[in-house]
Amino acid sequence: MRALCWHGKNDVRVDTVPDPKILNPRDAIVKITATAICGSDLHIYNGFIPTMERGDILGHEFMGEIVELGSEVKNLKIGDRVVVPFTIACGHCSYCEDTLFSLCDNSNPNASMQEAVYGAPVAGLYGYSHLFGGYAGGQAQYARVPYADIGPIKIESDLSNEQVLFLSDILPTAWMGVENAHVKPGGTLAIWGCGPVSQLAIKCAFLQGVGRVIALDHIPERLELARQSGAEVIDYTKVDNVTATLKEMTGGRGPDGCMDGVGLEAHGTSADAVMDKTKQVMRLASDRIHVLREMVMACRKGGSLSVVGVYGGLIDAFPMGAVFAKGLNITGGQTHVQRYLNPLLERIQKGELDPSFIITHRLPLEQAPEGYATFKEKRDKCIKVVLTP
């Protein structure tokens, strides 16, 4: 089959690789009909995610048709149309039973590697390094789906691929990200970054009863799309001080909740942002945390920080004193996708959500390397790229 493979920093290629096979009775093989490039894929593309190996198949947002099933998968049949969650979960460990699917005890074959880095193993992920299990990803013609009796959700309506594809990751991620900000009905949520997850989070926030959303970015088309969804927007390059601006907009209090939709490659124009980037480039730090610092300083006392963006390692010069003094809550983590699949599918079916509005570029799989470069550089007003094998 054809698949997009990692060959090094800024080097991805569509290669011919062996077809996936059933390895476990709970496996399925999916013929992929739609897949997408995620913002977190760019962290791999840019060389910031360790334990990648040449030839690894990328991609964790995908859907398709069941073409082969293991003997223990009883809830699916050949020909079913499914969306596959990016978090791989066994469904039976104590964490899965508590619907903490991204913390699954059993789905990562490289658990000892993670325990050394994070203190405990968490779930395997598709196409996201050997630290997260070394699973082949979904930017390909076919994919093996472990624990297929737990993960995939059947799409039995006539909804288009583009309407349901993002159930695989970024729509549940957006929903959980807003939940983790703990904003009461009528309150104010500030979102750093206006990429695909944040665009969906704006929609999710209003559905969850948030009164105001303030979105920060510097790319005009992203700010305009956020504005169209009802957010107030800040171009952070055009204000002297983001914290002061947010406090001025909220009567001197600060937002009730703050969401980081950026992650370890945060941009900024302040001195600390420049320092972060310099240290990361020189390999003196693994992550750039300018956004996290701004969130801590801007959030109201007793508020909550929701960390949706991916962080990979250690952070430097974090204002823990302010977190303690202001009584802030911080919640992060990979999304428990399986928890949200059915409720969010129902909202799509009812017309309350249509995630396809974020798609700007549609390419065949063979043009995936071009898609990565366009997405990284934000060329041609690119917000989200969908690939068709």
Q: Per-block average pLDDT, block size 10, for the chain (389 residues)? A: 98 98 98 97 94 98 98 98 98 98 97 93 97 98 98 96 98 98 98 98 98 98 98 97 98 98 88 82 82 97 97 89 98 97 98 98 98 97 97
C-beta of residue 101 within 8 angstroms of C-beta of residue 58: no
* Residues 224 and 202 sit within 8 Å (Cβ to Cβ): no
Could you tell me where the beta strands, DSSP code E, fall in the chain? 2-8, 11-16, 28-37, 61-69, 81-84, 87-88, 124-125, 142-145, 153-154, 188-192, 212-217, 232-235, 257-260, 304-307, 329-332, 361-364, 385-388
pTM of the model: 0.96
Give the pLDDT of residue 247. 98
Sign, CA dihedral 359-360-362-367, equals negative
| pLDDT on residue 285 | 79
Which of these, 358, 60, 87, 376, lies nearest to 200 by C-alpha position? 358
What is the spatial distance between Cα 141 and Cα 120, in angstroms, rounded to a whole number? 33
What's the rounded Cα separation, in Å, for the pair 322 and 327? 8
The type of residue at 303 is G
Q: Which of 362, 334, 356, 359 is nearest to 60 (CA)?
A: 334
CA distance 322 to 325: 5
Residue of 113, 117, 51, 44 lying closest to 264 (CA atoms)? 44
Residue 121 to residue 372: CA distance in whole angstroms: 30
Give the residue carrying structure tokens 């974090």: 318
In terms of Cα–Cα distance, which of 296, 242, 275, 19 is closest to 143?
19
> What was the pLDDT predicted at 272?
86
